């Protein structure tokens, strides 16, 4: 296996189901050893920000609904499963689950992609409050907010794999 293949195999899922981010960062000569979370994140964010709007939308759409159907069916990536469980989203009451389902549907109908938030360190109440606020955003504002959250999630995932600096 080549160093490129190893890199993509290890970091290709940092941006949810979007290995092209890792591939482009590696192929663009932006990856330097020793690997650090900060360095790899900077490279991958550079690629993400340079992606065309359709590619970014594809990455947003690769994210699961919070506490949604994939979570119930066990279809989340291990990273997403751990992140949602850490925020207690795997232990919602029936009323809380109904509220998340309602907000997920309204959000996707309005913006065309799932609600994305870096849940690490947040409670169910924090997430619900952010959800209720952000569903009122305009499309451009929310696209930018969702992209910023994707970048934050990627950073947190890299911190789990690599030293910070």
Whether 158 and 25 have beta carbons less than 8 Å apart is answered as: no
Cβ atoms 67, 84 nearer than 8 A: yes
41 as an active site residue: the answer is: no
DSSP state, residue 74: T
Which of the residues 41, 63, 97, 155 is marked catalytic?
63
Which burial class, exposed, middle or buried, applies to 68 when counting CB atoms under 10 A from its CB (0-12, 13-18, 19+)?
A: buried
Give the integer Cα–Cα distance in Å for 72 and 41. Answer: 30
The alpha carbon of 53 is separated from its chain's Cα centroid by a whole number of angstroms, namely 16
Joined tokens for residue 29: 């000569």
Catalytic residues, by residue number, are 63
């Amino acid at each position: 296996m080549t160093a490129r293949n190893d890199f993509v195999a290890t970091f290709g899922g940092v941006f949810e189901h979007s290995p092209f981010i890792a591939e482009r960062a590696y192929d663009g000569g932006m990856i330097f050893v020793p690997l650090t979370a900060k360095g790899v994140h900077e490279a991958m964010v550079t690629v993400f920000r340079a992606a065309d709007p359709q590619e970014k939308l594809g990455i947003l759409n690769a994210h699961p609904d919070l506490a949604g159907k994939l979570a119930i069916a066990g279809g989340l990536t291990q990273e997403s499963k751990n992140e949602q469980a850490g925020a207690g989203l795997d232990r919602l009451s029936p009323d809380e689950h109904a509220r998340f389902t309602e907000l997920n549907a309204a959000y996707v109908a309005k913006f065309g992609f799932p609600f994305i938030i870096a849940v690490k360190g947040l409670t169910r109440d924090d997430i619900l409050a952010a959800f209720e606020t952000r569903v009122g955003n305009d499309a451009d504002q929310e696209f930018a907010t969702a992209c910023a959250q994707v970048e934050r999630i990627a950073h947190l995932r890299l911190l789990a794999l690599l030293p910070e600096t």
